[in-house]
Each structure stands twice: as C-alpha cells, then as structure tokens.
Amino acid sequence: MLGFGAERLRADMNRLLALLFHQGVLDEQYLELQQLQDESSPNFVSEVINIYFHESEKLLRNLRGLLLDREFSDYKKMGIHLNQFMGSSSSIGAKRVRNLCIAFRAASEQSNRAGCLRALELLEYEYCYLKNKLHELFQIEQQRNLAATVRYPQAQHHLNNP
Amino acid sequence: MRNSSMDGGISPFHNIRPNEWTKLSGNNVGELHYSSILGFPFLFKSGHQLSFISFELKSSSGTCFSRYVSGFLVQMSSNCKNCSSNGKLCSSIKQKKAWESFHRRADGRKWERFVVFLLLMVAVCGLFWVLTSSNRDSSEWKMETPVSNEFKDQVLPEYCNVSKKEFHALDSLFSQRDRVTSLACCRESGFEMPTSCNITRGLKIQGSQALEKWHKMVAKNVEFNAHCPTRDESITFVGLPFSKDKTVSFISQLGFLSIPSNHLFYRKNELQMKELQDHATYYCDSNSFGLAKICLWILVGVIISFNIPKLHEKFSSRKHEIIQETPCAQQTQLLQQAQSSSRSTGKWRKKMLIVFVLAGVVFSIRLFWYLSEDIILRRKETLGSMCDERARMLQDQFNVSMNHVHALALLVSTFHHGKQPSAIDQKTFEDYTERTAFERPLTSGVAYALRVRHSEREEFELQQGWAIKKMETEDQTLAQDCNLENFSASPIQEEYAPVIFSQKTVSHIVSIDMMSGKEDRENILRARASGKGVLTSPFKLLKSNHLGVVLTFAVYNTHLPPDALPEQRTNATVGYIGASYDVPSLVAKLLHQLASKQTIFVNVYDTTNKLAPIKMYGTDEIDTGLLRISNLDFGDPTRKHEMHCRFKQKPPPPWQAITASVGVLVITLLLGHIFHAAINRIAKVERGYREMMELKHRAEAADIAKSQFLATVSHEIRTPMNGVLGMLQMLMDTNLDARQQDYAQTAHASGKDLISLINKVLDQAKIESGRLELESVPFDLRAVLDKVLSLYSGKSQEQGLELAVYVSDQVPEVVIGDQERFGQIITNLVGNSIKFTQDKGHIFISVHLANEVMLPLDARDEVLKQSLTIVQVGSNASYNTLSGFRAVDRWRSWKNFKNFSGIPEETEKIKLLVTVEDTGAGIPLEAQGRIFMPFMQADSSTSRKYGGTGIGLSISKRLVELMDGEIGFVSELDIGSTFSFTVTFTKAEANYLETMRLQCDPAVPEFRGLKALVIDERRVRAEVTRYHLKRLGISVDITFSMESAYSYLSCYSKTSVLENLAMVLVDQDCWDKDICFLLHNLLKTIKQNGSKNNSGIPLKIFLLATCTSSSQRKELKLDRIVDNVIKKPLRLSALAFAFQEATGFGKTGHNTRAKPSTLRTLLRDKQILVVDDNAVNRRVAEGALKKYGAFVTCVEGGKVAVGLLKPPHKFDACFMDLQMPGMDGYEATREIRSLESEYNEKIKSGEVSVDMSENLAHWHTPILAMTADVIQATNEECIKCGMDDYVSKPFDEGQLYSAVARCHQGLPSLLPDSAMTLNGG
C-alpha cells in the first residue's frame, strides 16, 4: 500500500514538476540542480532552495522598502538587488521569476516607478506561487522519501495484514 | 557744267577791270578770287552699298579737307560692327556659361539635362532675336542715310543748274550790248556768286552714267565757248579748263562755281545728320547692349536656380546618409525631419518660381515702356530734323530769290538810272526778267516802280503817256481779267510810285501807284529807309487768289555806304523793285523736292503778331500728337515766320517694343513652366523616394521582425523541448519495459532532431541577420574531418558505403578559422550524401589546397590526379574511384568558381578546396538551380523519401560565403553528385602544430618509423589508407593484389627492406583466403626473422573492412589469419586503437570514456575557490563542483577572494562571478593577477624559494568567469582583465568540462560527445 503510495507520490511529483515546467515556472536548470543531488549531499536541492527563499525574501523586502521610500531615487541599488535575484532565480531554474526580474530591471533602468511597483507586485505574486509549489514539491518528496525508507517494513506489515 | 555757265555768265564782262571787280565783289558778302582757280582732285571712288562721298572745300584763305559724310559713315559702320561683335561676344560667353552649367549637370538626371537643353535653346533663340532686332534698327538708320544722300544729289545739281542758266541768260541778254554795260552789270551782279568763285567742289556721282553726263556737259561747254565772242580775250581768268585745249582730260581739272551757302547748308545738314546718326547708333548700341545684359542676367539666374536644387539635393542626400547610419529606432523620426525639410524646400522653390515669374512680367512691362519711350523720342527727333530741314531750305530758297531781286535792283540802278539814255525800257526789262525768271522760281512777278514826286507827276505822266493809277484793293478779280481802264487815276499825294517796268506776268500793274496800296506803301517806306529787302505781311495777292508776300527793294541813284542814315537813303531813292512771292506754291514746290513729304504736314505762319498768326501755307491742322515748330528767317527782321510740322499719321503702335516685351514675357512664362514642371517632377521624385524609403524601412523592419520571430520562436521551442528531453531522459531512467523504453528512446531521438533543426533555423536566422560571428582559433583540420567521419561511420557501415577522407600533404596540419562551422559545412554535405546514397558506392571527402588544382599534372597529388579524370579500369566495369562505382567528374563542380587561386602564396591566408563526392541518386537537372535556396528540396517527394528540411545546404552556402569561399556542385542522375567548396583560413605558426599534435594524440609516436604494406586494388583507396598511416608516422608501400604482395614480400624477405615492416593492411575487396594463408605463413617466417632483427615489433595483418558482421570478424580473428579487422571509415583514433589492441602496447589507460568521469578526473581532489555574492549560486556551484570530486571553498566577495588567492595558496582554480557588490570580478581578477606577477618577480629574484610553492616556478591560478549572459563583448572583457575562460551560469556540464580542460591542458581532448554537439544532423 505504502509502496504503491511511494510510486504514486513519485508520479505526483513528476506531474507537478511537469506542470511547473509547462507553466514555465521552472526550467531545465532545476533538473540540473536535481542531478547534482546524490548520496554525498542528499538534501542538496532543498538546501539550495531554502537558501534561495531566504535570500529572495530579503531581497524582496529590500526592494519593497526601496520602492516605498518617499525620496526614492536609488535605482542603481535596486538594479544590483534585481541582478542578484535574477542570478539566484536562474540558478535554481525559476524561469518566470527570472523573467519578471528582467522586466523589473528594465523598468528600473528607465526609472519608471509605476512600472517598478507593478513589476514588484507581479514578482511577489510569482515568488509566492513558486514558493508554494516548491514547498508542495518538497513535501511530496519528503513523503516519498519517507515512503521509500519505510517501504519495506510497511510492505511487510501489509503482508502481515491481508 | 559749272565752268561753262561761268564762262557764259562772266565772259560778257570779261573786260572788267580789277578795281571794278573788287568794287562789285566788295559790295557783297564774301571775297571773289578769280585768279586762283586751281585744279583739284576729283575723287571718284565707288565702294560698297554705302556711297562714299567726299567733299572738298577750298576756301580762299587756305585749304581744308573735311570728309564728314565718309567719316560718319565709316564711323557708323564700325559702330555696327562693334555692336554685332559685342553681340557675338556676349552670345559666346553665354554659350560658354550655359555649356559649363550643362556640363556640371551632366551627371544629373536626364530630365534635368533636357530642361537645361531647352533653356539653352530658349536663351540662344532669345539672343538671336534680340540681335536681329537691334541690327534691324541700325539698318533702318542706314536706310535713312542714302535717302538724305539722294536728296543732296538731287538738290545740288538743281542749284548748279540754276546758276548755270542764270549765267546763260545774262550772257545772252548782254551779248549784243557793249562791253562796258555788261561789265557794269557784271560788277553789280557779282554778288550772285556770293562768297567765292574758287570754292571748288568734287562731287562724286555713282557709276559711269555720271561720267557720261560729265562728258556731255563738257561738250556743251566747249560748244558754248565757241559761241562766246569774248572767249579769246580773257585776261584775268586763269586756268579755266577746256578754253582752248579740248584734249586735256576733262576729269582731271574742273572748275566750279558754286554757292557757298549751299555748302554751308549741306555741311550743317550733314553735321546734323551725323549727330542724329551718332545718336541713333548710340541708342542702337545701348539698346542691344542692354538687351544682351538682360539676357545674361536671365541666364545667370537660370544657372543659379539650377544649382540650388543640386545643392539642396546634396544636402538632403547627406541627410539621408545620416539617416541610414542611424539605428532603426531613430530612423522614422529623422525620416520625418527629412520629409518636412524637403517639403519646406519644395515650398521655397515654388516661391522662388513665383518671384521669378513676377520679376519676368515686371521686366517685360518695363522693357515695353522703355522701348516705346525710345520710339517716341526717336520719332520726335525725326520730325524735328525733318522740320528744321524744310524750314532751312525754304529760308535759303527765299534768300536766294531775294538776292536775285536785289541784283535786279542794282541792274536797274545801273542800266536805267546810271545810263543816259536809259539802257532799259519796258521791252528790255520784260525780256530780261522773263529770261531770268527761273532764277526766282518763287516770285510770281517782278516790277519796277519809279519814285515820282508830286511835282514831277505831270512831266512823268506826259513822258510815259499814261496817268498814275490808284490801286484798288477791293477789286480782286483775276489778273487775266483785269483791265487797266478799271483803275482810276491816283489821287494827289506827296509822292507816287508808279510801276514803269514789269515782268510780263504782272504787266497789268504797270502805271499803278504802289504807294496807294496800304501794305505796299509801308513796305516801300521801310525798304528805302533800310536799304534792304522788306516783306509785307501775307495778304491776298492782287488779282490772284493766293496768299503772298511782296518783297520790296529800294533803288538808289548813288552808291551809299553801308552805314548811311535813313534820311540819306530816302533822298537817294529813285525807284523800287518789287517782287511778289507766292508762298503756298513756294512751299509746295520746295516740299515736292524733298523725300518723305508724304509723312508730314507742313504749315507756315506769319507770327509777327504773336496773338494772331497768319497762316501762309498748309492745310488745317489735325492734331496727330507731335508738333515741331521751326523759326524761319526771311531776311526781314521785322517779320517773324514759323513753320509747324506734324506727322500725317498717328504714331503706329510700337511693334518692336511689343514684340520684345511679349518675347521676354513668353520666355519668362516658358521658363516658369519648365521650372514648374521640374519642381513638380522633383517633388514627385522626392515623394516617390520617401515612399520607397518608408517601404524599405518597413520591409527591413519586417525582415528583422521575421528573424527575431524565428529566433524567439526557436528559442522558445528549444526551452520546453529541453524540458521534454529532460523528462524523457528521466523517464528512460525509470523502470520501463523494453517497449516503453523503445518509445521513449524514439521520442528522445525525435526531440533531439527537432532541437537540431531548430538550431539550424537559428543559425539561418543568425546568418541572415548578420549576427553570426566566425571564430578564429587554431584547429587541426584532419581531426575535424575525423570527427565528421566518426559521426557518420555507423550510418555508412549500415548502408555498406565506403566513407573516406583524404587530406593532401600540402594542407597544413593546423589552420586558424572556425572549426565548428567548417565541420558543420562538411557534416551537412556528407549528411546529404549519405542520405541520398543507397547501398552502393562511396562518399569521399578530399581536401586540397586550391592552388594544387592549378599545378601541372605531374606535380599533382595522386588522389587529385586520379579523381580528375574518371576512367574505367579493368574488365569488371569498375572505375578508378574509391569504390569502383562511377562518379561524376568532380572538376566540373569547381569550374565556375570565380577567384579560385586568388590568394598568392606569400600571404598568411590559404585557400582550401574541399570536395565531397558520392555515388548517390543525383540531383535532377531542373532542381539544380534552387538547390541552395533555403527550405527547397529537389522535389517534394524528396522530403517524403529522405526526410530533412533542405535547410542544410543553404546554411552551408552562407557559411562558405562567410569564410570567403564559394560552393558549387555537379550532379548527374543515378551517377552521383560532387559538391565542392573553397574556404579561406589563416596559416598557423609551425611550432604550434607540433605541440598540438603531441598533446592531441600521445599514441602517435609509438608507431613512428614503422613500415606498412597496403594491399589494395584501388589506387585512390590505397592513397587514403596511406594518408591515414602517414599521420601515424608509418611509411607505406602499396601493392595492388595479394599475389604481388606475396611475391614482393618473398623477394625481399631476406633483405633489410622489410626491416621495419610492422603491418600489412589488406582491403576487403582483395581478400583472398588462400593467398592470405600463404601470405600469413610467409609473414610468420618474416616475423620470426624480424623478431631477431627488429626491435620486437611483431608483424601483423589487418583487414580493412567496410561492413563486417561481428560473427565474420570473430571468425577471421579466430582463424588467426588476421590480427585485427579495422572497420572503415578509417580514422586516426580508430587506427591507433586497432594497432594498439593488436600489438598490445601503448595501453596507458588513455581512455575516451564518458564526460563526467573525465571531468571528475580533471577536478578530483582539486582545491577550487568559488566567488559569488549570491548564496544560491554559490551553493549550486559548490554542489556542481563537488559532484566532480573537487574541494570547494566558497567566498562571498572579491575582497575575500583576493585575500585567499594571494600566492602562495592552495587553490588550483577559481570560479569568479563578474557582477558583485563591492569589488567585482574584473577588479578582483586584475588584483589577483598583479599579486601573482609580483610574486613571480620575487621568485625570479630568489626572494621566495621555489619549493614553497610546490615546484611551481610560475604562479598563474586559472580564473574562470561565471556570467549569466555570455556575449562576445563580455568574453573579451574577461580575457582582457586576465581571466582564462568563462562558463555560463548556470553550469553546463560540457562547457564546464571544456573550460576546465582548456585551463588544465591547454586544449580540449576530442570526445565523441563533443563531436556530437558539433554536428547538426
């Protein structure tokens, strides 16, 4: 039962990933990232993603703070933030976030405050979406891992209890 | 003639004494010199149409020559010449200018040229018109001159005739009289020849007619002389010609008497005429010059206005250039600017045109006004001159008549009163006056009235036999009807003036008392008081209906001094001579003599009383505009007369002015029209140009959009495709059954195909948008070809095709160029060939220098030699090609290349000729034309049959063109095709070659110096094998069959020829098991010998096979006949591997296993520093590198990195992010490099011991940049600041590997997988 659940979870995970790929939320870089995960670093992906979330939230906060400041004029600083955000996003393969960053940067280069604000809104939305989905993904993965580890006894248990 | 009259006239008085002569002449105005009549030159010249008239005047005081007429005529003609030459000059200058302008515009548009031509024509026409009109002017004036000349000719002889006749009459009158009387008469009448007797004149009359006339006259003269009784007695007259000697040439010397006043008159006239003519010529001159100037201005204007659009064009074209240079985004804006500017210039041009037309209209109006003014002025002057002329003539005629009357008075005084008894009676008087009437053509009659005082009346009446009668003014009956009886006797008065002598015409007034008429009385009183002729006011003449005046002279009995008092004069008066003048007939006669009398009205008025002028002659005045008043002086100061002249016609409309101004107007309008048309045309062309530019921009934008769309779409497809592929890969990793695995694999392969197609499309788009940048890196050409072969080896083996590559010895090993693109071209061509070659034949790639083809046949490469002419060899219908199947003549594929051997030997460039020959289906002739067009295949069935998109060849062509080459092909259906292309590479340095070779394949030296025997019946194939073996350093002998090889080996088995023979390679086609067995045995013996002789290299036999199943191979191997089977196509690595396998040496663990492991070997246990500010990136990089076994240290910023990398340190490499806050990647790298160089200096100088830095004498930590966007500029910047290479973020395994490998080994090792990335399907 649970073994089957593990398989199902794996399928769910794959479906979710495919969906994310289809939506363009993620790209192949995420797969690359997954490939880097092996026995030596079993939680590599989640580790990286967590770092990403941490960094990104900090950056988003900074960006929002910069933009809401009354005497705001430091587009350059915003550009640096955005570059960072973009770099980390492309590293984990968060494609839509990255694209929004590009748009945001374009708006900031033109000193278009309204555009920046709009981009920030979108970015936050997209980031939240990504975060949710990735959390979902990790949850499934954790469950799967859990299932995989406990599969054997579970199966036994299952056999024991027809 | 004159001479004769003089002779006749003077000869009656020839016994005049000098003192009497002087007295007589002293009475008159001038001096008379009879003693000095000299011969004078008589000029007789006939010229052209202008009569050349010369007057020679000799005055008594000296001689003076004047040639007024000739002078002025010459002057005038020269003026005309001047004028015409001026005109010519002007016209030539204009033409020159126009021509210049024409030339300047010659490179312009055609229609402009046409317009210029038209303008030129118009200008020239206008010029001609102006010139001809001015010439007409001057010719008109010329016409007038002959008229006046004619007039002079007429008048002169008349005068001459008059005086001649007078003399004649005188002579005949006095011929019967005694000499004294005649002498006295002569003395008195000397004034008739007033000023000088010896004023001579040469009159030239045209033609021989005149000469004849002269002849006749002379004859007459002679005759006359004979008549004259006094001829022989002439004393004082000297030098009269013809007097005796008739043989003297009558032309040479002729004496003339003439009337000086006539001369004076002529002279005056001439002067005036001359002035007039001068004036006229001046006008004509200035007129034509002015017109010429105007024309010049017009032309200058035309030229300027033509240059303006040209300038504008230049300007605008420059603008357009600027537009073209600017990027697309600004283009539209600039275009609009240009449009508006051109529009404004168009408006400006139109304004100019309007101004020009208005100026032309104003000018033509002004011209009209000016010319008509001029005409009016000229008319006025003509009238004035005519009027003055008439007045002067009338005056002169009158004066002449008056003189005659005066003479008559003297005559009467001399002969009537001076003689006792009187020599004159009524009969004589009548006779004389009758005969001399021609002298006074204007007088109707002459009468002599005697002064009779009342005291003498009785006696007088008695003596005469009639009573003095009273004049009855009331009676105005005609003279013919008049009856003396009708007159009543005169009343008693103080004195009377009864007429005693009268001319016959007025004989009715004899005995009438002149003092009884009021007018006459006044006249008589004034006349005797003044001693001069006096005139009455005009009144109706007695007994005639004409208006007339009476001229009265007093006759004195004594000679009075000129300053005598009136009382003395009155007392001395004895009688009165009266002459009545018929003014109307006088004037009419005079006018009749003149030319152009039709044109003017002449009125003569007596204006003594200014308020009531009395009309003496002429019709009622009609006002025709101009009026000219000339004063007349008839010798009586108390009376004033005037002559009024008018033109008969109203002035005609000024045609000349009208035509001129209309002409100018027409020219202006014509020019305006032309300019208007031109401006319209310019505007149209500009509009068209703008439209075209706009369309062009639109088209370009569309093209760019298309390319961008293609690129974007391709990219967008590629990204999800990667996802698909990734997922497929993941899918395949899962537990699938065989069928599922197969499906997944198929899907994966299709996806890969799709990706490769998209890559091609991207390439095409890149090439089309010109964004493809060719690399130029040194590469091994042969290795590239081997890679291509390796790609297709599987396919060719499947299809049983022979695939071979051959590179000429002359091609350098290493060249500089873009190896990937070069490989891509060849891959495309070979892929095509494989696609279309089914189950038979071969695909043969050969590379030569382009210059080799040009070499003479002997010097050529063997392969080239063979392949140039396809001939049948042997009996089994095989050809001298690689596989024996027939191929097309390959040389035909490059015969159309343009710059085949365009590169000289010396330069750094080399040109390679690559041919790919196959024995495929061939291309149908009709499809050959579109073979290089993108997405076009030979026909639509092709894609069904063979697949593919047809984009490969088009990309190849473009790539070849990018590499300065050309591509061509030749193809025959069912025989095959050969594609040839040339590419240009740069030569690499020779030493580079060696290092590359060594690094490339360490196995190579192992075979160096060995020998091989190749047994192959096909020459070309044998050459290919030789080529590959040569690359391994093995020298090759070739035999064509097993038999010959056997004999060869057996012959030389004992000699040292075979000393180094290490292997025998047998082609599959020559394989003969029996002979091979023999050979094998032989070789065995040789081997045994060789094992003694040689350095332990065993002799091996290899079979070269195209397609052998593994079972066959096994069988052969098991037989131990051959040591190994080498699968074709031959490749360096494959050969080396086979040899190594067979010989068992060289196995040094050199493997070509999968990438990750290689990367792992490269990176294992290496200390790597990752510098990135982004935590995520840092972690990812760390994870990636750790995966390959590296020890990774991560730092956040450039400063820390610099600190860590300060030598000596433990790191083997550094991955550096470029964009970091604080110190960025570039700066950090620069700093690290400077630290390293500093340290290296220290090592050199021995400050730091070498062993401390792990036997590294030179510190250079490889620093690789990590960039998110890899563009060329960034790359260059990285290299500039001292980085070794770059990898794109996120890490791509292949790229990472190659970058790291480059850093560690200097170049990437050749991996099959990287070759896969090179191909494109």
Tokens representing B1064 are 């025998």
- B907 with B973: CB under 8 angstroms? no
- The predicted model gives B751-774 an average pLDDT of 77
Instruction: State percent of chain B over pLDDT 90.
Output: 2
pLDDT at B141: 45
Q: How many helices (H) and strands (E) does chain B have?
A: 34, 35
Contact (Cβ atoms closer than 8 angstroms) between residue B418 and residue B379: no
Q: Is B510 in contact with B448 (CB distance < 8 Å)?
A: no
Q: Output the pLDDT for position B1140.
A: 74
Q: What is the mean pLDDT of residues B675-683?
A: 90
Average pLDDT over residues B322-345: 58
User: Hey, what are B864's tokens?
Assistant: 């080239």
The residue of B1176, B1217, B1266, B1292 whose CB has the most chain A CBs within 10 angstroms, and thus the best one to mutate to test that interface, is B1176
- In this prediction, residue B362 has a pLDDT band, given cuts at 50, 70 and 90, of very high
The share of chain B scoring above pLDDT 70, in percent, equals: 59
**DSSP assignment of B617-681:** E-------S--EEEEE--S-TT--EEEEEEESSPPPP-HHHHHHHHHHHHHHHHHHHHHHHHHHH
Question: What residues of A are in contact with residue B719 (Cβ under 8 Å)?
Answer: 27-28, 95
B1188 → chain A, closest CA residue: A36
b/e per residue B467-494 (b: at least 16 CB within 10 A)? bbbbbeeeeeeebeebeeeebeebeebe
DSSP state of B1146: -
The confidence band for B695, taking pLDDT boundaries of 50, 70 and 90, is very high
Angle at B608 between CA B605 and CA B614, to 5 degrees: 35
**CA-based end-to-end distance of chain B:** 132
Q: State the complex-level ipTM.
A: 0.77
Do residues B45 and B266 touch, judged by C-beta distance below 8 A?
A: no
| Local confidence band at B690 (pLDDT 50, 70, 90 cut-offs) | very high
Provide the residue type at B500 as one letter.
I
Q: Which amino acid is at B806?
A: Y
Answer yes or no: do B1175 and A55 touch at CB < 8 A. Answer: yes
Average pLDDT over residues B644-653: 79
User: How far apart, in whole angstroms, are the C-alpha atoms of residue B949 and residue B951?
Assistant: 5
Strands B534-535 and B495-496: unpaired
d(CA B156, CA B149): 10
Q: Answer yes or no: do B1174 and A91 touch at CB < 8 A.
A: yes
Interface contact B1174-A31, CB threshold 8 A: no
**CB of B850 closer than 8 Å to CB of B907:** no
Q: Give residue A91's pLDDT.
A: 82
Tokens of B839: 């189950």
What's the first-to-final CA gap in chain A, in angstroms? 11
Q: Is B1157 helix (H, G, I), strand (E, B) or coil?
A: helix
Distance CA(B1186)–CA(B1184), nearest Å, equals 5
Task: Find chain A residues with C-beta within 8 A of B1289's C-beta.
Answer: 87, 90-91
What is the predicted pLDDT for the residue at B827? 87
CB nearest B1179 (choices: A27, A48, A84):
A48
* Most confident range, picked from B529-538, B661-670, B1273-1282: B661-670
Q: Which residues of A touch B726 (CB under 8 A)?
A: 28, 31
Q: How far is A54 from chain B (nearest CA, A)?
A: 9
Q: Which amino acid appears at position B1315 of this protein?
A: A
Nearest CA distance, A96 vs chain B (angstrom) = 13
Judged against a pLDDT cut of 50, whether residue B636 lies above it is answered with: yes
Rounded CA separation B1250/A111 (Å) = 55
- The pTM is what? 0.40
Q: Specify the length of chain B in residues.
A: 1321
Q: What is the pLDDT of residue B32?
A: 37
Query: What's the pLDDT at B767?
Result: 75
Residue B15 has pLDDT above 50, yes or no: no
Q: Which residues of B touch A83 (CB under 8 A)?
A: 1219
Average pLDDT estimate for B766-785: 79
DSSP string, B541-570: PTTSSSEEEEEEEEEESSPPPTT--HHHHH
Q: How far is A90 from chain B (nearest CA, A)?
A: 7
How far is the C-alpha of B964 from the C-alpha of B977, rounded, in Å?
A: 23
Is the separation of the CB atoms in B938 and B923 below 8 Å?
Answer: yes
- Nearest chain B residue to A25, by CA: B720
Cis peptide before B421, with omega less than 30 degrees from 0? yes
Give the Å distances, CA to CA, from B494 to B455, B490, B1011, B1028: 8, 11, 182, 172
**Structure confidence at residue B791 (pLDDT):** 80
- Shortest CA gap B1305–chain A (Å): 25
Q: Which amino acid is at B401?
A: S
Residues of B in contact with A33 (CB under 8 A): 1180, 1183, 1290
Model confidence at B250, pLDDT cuts 50, 70, 90, reads very low
Q: What is the pLDDT of residue B452?
A: 83
Tell me which H or E stretch contains B534.
Answer: strand B534-535
**Cross-chain Cβ contact B1290/A31 below 8 Å:** no
Rounded to whole angstroms, how far apart are CA atoms B354 and B836? Answer: 74
Least confident range from B355-359, B806-810, B891-895: namely B891-895
**Per-residue pLDDT reduced to its tens digit, B120-168:** 777 777 666 665 655 454 444 444 444 444 444 454 555 555 545 555 5
pLDDT for position B12: 35
How far does the CA of residue B729 sit from the closest CA of chain A (Å)? 11
**A1 and A154 in contact (C-beta within 8 Å)?**
yes
**pLDDT given at position B158:** 53
In the predicted model, residues of chain A with pLDDT beneath 50 are: 1, 151-162
Report CB contact under 8 Å: A21, B1187. Answer: no
Contact A87 B1174 (CB under 8 A): yes
Q: What is the pLDDT of residue B1006?
A: 67
pLDDT 10s digits, B408-445: 888 888 888 877 777 788 888 888 888 887 877 777 78
Report the residue of chain A nearest B1173, measured CA to CA: A84
Look at residue B679 and tell me whether its pLDDT is greater than 80.
Answer: yes
pLDDT single digits (tens) B991-1003:
555 555 544 454 4
Q: Do B1177 and A14 touch (CB under 8 A)?
A: no
For the record, the structure tokens of B510 come out as: 């004899």
Residues of chain B with C-beta less than 8 angstroms from the C-beta of A36: 1180, 1183-1184, 1187
d(CA A152, CA B758) in angstroms, rounded, equals 47
More confident residue, B731 or B139: B731
Q: To the nearest whole number, what is the mean pLDDT of chain B?
A: 69
Choose among A29, A84, A95: nearest Cβ to B1173. A84
> How many angstroms away from the CA of A161 is the closest CA of chain B?
28
Cβ–Cβ < 8 Å for B406, B575: no
Whether residue B207 has pLDDT greater than 70: no
pLDDT tens sequence across B823-866: 888 988 888 888 888 777 888 898 988 887 777 766 677 777 77
Instruction: Check CB contact under 8 Å for A41 and B719.
Output: no
Are B565 and B404 within 8 A, CB to CB?
no
Is residue B1272 predicted with pLDDT exceeding 70?
A: no
A vs B, Cβ pairs < 8 A, gives 81
Closest residue in B to A83 (Cα) is: B1219
Nearest Cα neighbor of B1207 from B1227, B1231, B1178, B1225 is B1231
- The CATH architecture one would assign to domain A4-35+44-149 is Up-down Bundle (1.20)
In chain A, where are the structural domains located? 4-35+44-149
> pLDDT by residue (tens digit) across B40-97?
333 333 333 333 333 333 333 333 333 333 333 333 333 334 433 343 444 444 444 4
Between chains, do A48 and B730 touch, taking CB under 8 Å as contact? no
At residue B420, the pLDDT reads 74
Chain A nearest CA to B1180, separation (Å): 7
Using CB atoms within 10 Å of the CB of residue B164, give its burial: 0 to 12 exposed, 13 to 18 middle, 19+ buried.
Answer: buried
Q: Which of B232-246, B372-386, B470-484, B849-863 has the lowest mean pLDDT?
A: B232-246
Chain A residue numbers with beta carbons less than 8 Å from the beta carbon of B1173 are 84
